[in-house]
Every structure is written in structure tokens, then in C-alpha cells.
């Protein structure tokens, strides 16, 4: 592994000269290969036939990642769907259960609907509050105010933190007895249990998750804003459009591809949310999420693998809806380009 790594880094240096040599050769300097062979190749350029060596390289270097992707991602995904129709504790024989798991999930598993609700709330919060706020910050920073680099770095800083750490920091701020928030509020006689109260804690966690999400969204929009053609804005200004109008009628529509990406990131983050609630209280007592339920059923003491897989499958179906929409959008854009 280390040697592969060395090679990857090594090419950076040697590779550049390689590329230069390659172009030089192409201009007619000639290379050590037989002239007849290269002429034959030139004639066949349209068809791009591969030599045996080429095929071997392709086979190995496409084969390994493809295998890895199938074994690590897609195989297990399909297996999960299959397992969701079984009863299994991981040790004894697997029993076919038909749709029992799903029936139990929808009717007879108290944490399920709260978890769905929390996931939806998570999505709504990120999508309707955190994402627009990130866009607003991007627009402000993009106007070229002084210190914009400082603002950009500070706002982005939380994104490099692990959500696990964000969870711990949330405890420092929100804990009941010595937490900074209660101290700042000055209510020692009647402290609010921000993280313990099941009707409050989700909101506090959403704030903490939003802390990271806002910076992430901001950076992506900043890049998008920089790629909007300034002439468009100037033309609109000449036509007498106000700043607000320019933004909503010209800039925002031009950001459509970025909006799609941000939308998907938001949805995926909303559905995948796990680390932060797990770090705070293992996703119990008001912080249930689908991802937590899957982990609990599979990794936890219960070991209800079939049942956990059914929850995972529900999560998968919802995610796939968004993934497919996104890829269709992306690929359509690709064709238009």
C-alpha cells in the first residue's frame, strides 16, 4: 500500500516531464517505437484498437475498483434488501419472513415514526433554514467586502470538524448544569436541560448540525457565484434592475446546477445524519433517527438483522429517489454541454 502511495505522489514530479515529452514526441520528434507501428496506429486512430498490454492494464485497473465497488457497496446493498425479508440473529439459520419485518416496522415499532419525523425535520431545517442562510452568507462574502477571506475561513472552520466532535462541543454549550448557554442565560435556579429534554434536544442538535452545514453550503455557493458571468449582471443593471431583482431574476437562475448539488447534499445529510446524535446520547430520548435505529438493531445487543435491514431498505428507497433525480439532472447537463 505504501508503495502505491509513493508512486502516486512520485508521478507528480516525473510525470510532468513525461507529459512534455509526450507532446514533444507528437510534434514529430519521434520516439523509440518503430515508425511503422506508429504510422499504423495513426491510420486506425478512429477505431482506437487496444493492444494486448492495453487490455491487461484496463482489465486490472478497471477491474479492481469495479470489484471493490461491487463487493463493498452494491453487493451489500442488494444483500440488505434481501435480508430485510428474513428473520436472522446473525448466528442461527436465516429464516424467510416475507414482509413481516415491514409490517412490524410500520405498525408495531414505536421508535419508527418518531425517527421518520425527526429525519424529515432534519431535512426541513437544513433545506429551509441552514441552506438559505449559507446562500445569504455566500452572497455577502462574494460582494468583495474587506476581510472576506477571514469571514470565509471562520465560517468554514466547523466543516472540517468531525460531527462526533461537534456533538461533544454541543454538550459543552448545552449541558444542563454548567453549560455555557444556561450560564449566559443566568438561570441557575431553573436550568433548562437543553439536551435531555426530548422536546427540546432535537432543535439544539439541529443548531449544531446547521453550524457545519451552513459553512459547507456557503463555500459551494461562493464557487458558484464566482462562475456567474458578470456581464449578465451588468446587463440587468443597465436595464434598471435593482440588486434584489438582479439576484432573484438573473443570478439565482444561473446557479441552477449548483442548486441541484446543494439540494442533494442537503438531502443526503438529512438522511445520513448519525454521528452527532450518536455522540450526544446514542440517539435515544428524543433524538431517534432512522440511521440510529438501523445501527441499534444490527450492531446493538438485539441483533435483529432482518428487521434492521428493513429499516435500512426504507432509508435506501428514499435516498435512491433523490440520487436518481440528481444523476438524471447531472447527466442531462452533461449532454447539453
Partner 1 sequence: MGRSRAGRYGVHVFLTAVSLGFLAPLLLAVYASLRPYEETAAHGYLSLPRHLSFDYYRQAFTESGMGRYFVNSLLIAVPGVLLALFFASFVAFAIARLRVRGQLALLVLFTAGNLLPQQVIITPLYVLFNRIPLPYWMSDSMTMYDSLWAVIAVQTGFQLGFCVFVLSGFMRTLPQEILEAAVVDGAGVWTRYWRITLPLCRPALAALGTLEFTWMYNDFLWALVFISNGEKLPITSALNNLRGQFFTDYNLLAAGSVLVALPTILVFLLLQRHFIAGLTLGASKG
* Cα separation, 50 vs 188, whole angstroms: 76
**Contact code string over 48-87 relative to partner 1, x by CB under 8 A:** x-xx-xx--xx--xx-xxx-xx-xxxxxxx-xx--x----
The size of the interface with partner 1 (CB under 8 A), counted in residues, is 134
* Cα separation, 290 vs 300, whole angstroms: 14
92 binds partner 1 (CB under 8 A): no
Q: Tell me which residues in 208-227 interact with partner 1 (CB under 8 A).
A: 211, 215-216, 219-220, 222-224, 227
Q: Tell me which residues in 279-308 interact with partner 1 (CB under 8 A).
A: 279, 290-291, 294-295, 298-299, 305, 308
Whether residue 115 contacts residue 288, with contact meaning beta carbons closer than 8 Å, is answered with yes
Q: How many CB atoms lie within 10 A of CB 134?
A: 25
Segment near partner 1 (CB under 8 A), from 95-103, 104-112, 196-204, 273-281?
273-281
**Contact code string over 168-197 relative to partner 1, x by CB under 8 A:** xxxxxx-x-xxxx-xxx-------------
Segment near partner 1 (CB under 8 A), from 98-106, 108-116, 146-154, 193-201?
146-154
- Name which of 1 and 238 has its Cβ closer to partner 1: 1
Secondary structure (3-state) at 241: coil
Q: Tell me which residues in 93-132 interact with partner 1 (CB under 8 A).
A: none
Alpha carbon of 255 to those of 219, 225, 261: distances in Å? 13, 7, 10
- Name which of 45 and 96 has its Cβ closer to partner 1: 45
- Phi then psi dihedrals of residue 123, to 5 deg: -60, -50
Q: How many CB atoms lie within 10 A of CB 159?
A: 16
Q: What is the closest distance, in whole angstroms, from the C-beta atom of residue 267 to partner 1 in the complex?
A: 9
- Name which of 48 and 107 has its Cβ closer to partner 1: 48
Residues paired with 96 in a beta bridge? 86
In the chain, beta strands by DSSP E:
86-87, 95-96
* Cα separation, 42 vs 61, whole angstroms: 25
- Name which of 110 and 337 has its Cβ closer to partner 1: 337
258 binds partner 1 (CB under 8 A): yes
Amino acid at each position: 500500500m505504501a508503495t502505491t502511495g509513493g508512486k502516486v505522489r512520485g508521478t507528480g514530479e516525473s510525470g510532468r516531464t513525461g507529459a512534455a515529452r509526450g507532446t514533444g514526441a507528437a510534434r514529430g520528434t519521434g520516439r523509440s517505437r518503430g515508425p511503422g507501428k506508429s504510422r499504423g496506429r495513426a491510420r486506425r486512430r478512429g477505431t482506437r484498437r487496444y493492444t494486448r498490454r492495453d487490455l491487461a492494464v484496463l482489465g486490472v485497473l478497471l477491474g479492481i475498483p469495479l470489484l471493490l465497488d461491487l463487493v463493498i457497496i452494491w453487493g451489500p446493498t442488494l444483500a440488505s434488501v434481501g435480508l430485510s425479508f428474513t428473520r436472522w440473529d446473525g448466528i442461527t439459520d436465516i429464516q424467510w419472513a416475507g414482509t413481516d419485518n415491514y409490517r412490524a416496522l410500520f405498525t408495531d415499532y414505536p421508535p419508527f415514526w418518531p425517527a421518520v419525523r425527526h429525519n424529515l425535520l432534519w431535512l426541513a431545517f437544513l433545506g429551509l433554514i441552514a441552506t438559505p442562510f449559507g446562500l445569504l452568507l455566500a452572497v455577502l462574502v462574494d460582494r468583495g467586502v474587506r476581510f472576506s477571506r477571514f469571514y470565509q475561513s471562520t465560517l468554514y472552520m466547523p466543516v472540517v470538524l468531525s460531527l462526533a466532535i461537534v456533538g461533544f462541543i454541543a454538550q459543552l454549550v448545552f449541558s444542563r448544569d454548567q453549560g455555557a448557554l444556561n450560564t449566559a442565560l443566568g438561570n441557575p435556579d431553573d436550568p433548562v436541560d437543553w439536551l435531555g429534554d426530548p422536546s427540546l434536544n432535537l432543535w439544539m442538535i439541529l443548531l449544531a448540525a446547521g453550524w457545519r452545514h451552513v459553512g459547507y453550503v456557503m463555500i459551494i455557493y461562493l464557487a458558484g457565484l464566482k462562475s456567474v458571468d458578470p456581464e449578465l449582471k451588468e446587463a440587468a443593471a443597465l436595464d434598471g434592475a435593482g440588486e434584489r431583482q438582479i439576484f432573484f431574476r438573473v443570478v439565482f437562475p444561473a446557479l441552477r446546477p449548483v442548486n441541484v448539488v446543494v439540494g442533494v447534499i442537503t438531502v443526503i445529510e438529512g438522511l445520513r445524519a448519525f454521528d452527532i446524535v450518536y455522540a450526544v446520547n446514542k440517539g435515544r430520548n428524543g433524538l431517534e433517527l432512522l440511521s440510529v435505529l438501523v445501527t441499534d438493531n444490527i450492531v446493538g445487543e438485539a441483533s435483529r438483522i432482518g428487521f434492521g435491514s428493513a429499516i435500512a431498505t426504507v432509508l435506501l428507497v428514499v435516498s435512491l429517489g433523490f440520487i436518481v433525480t440528481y444523476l438524471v439532472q447531472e447527466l442531462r447537463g452533461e449532454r447539453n454541454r
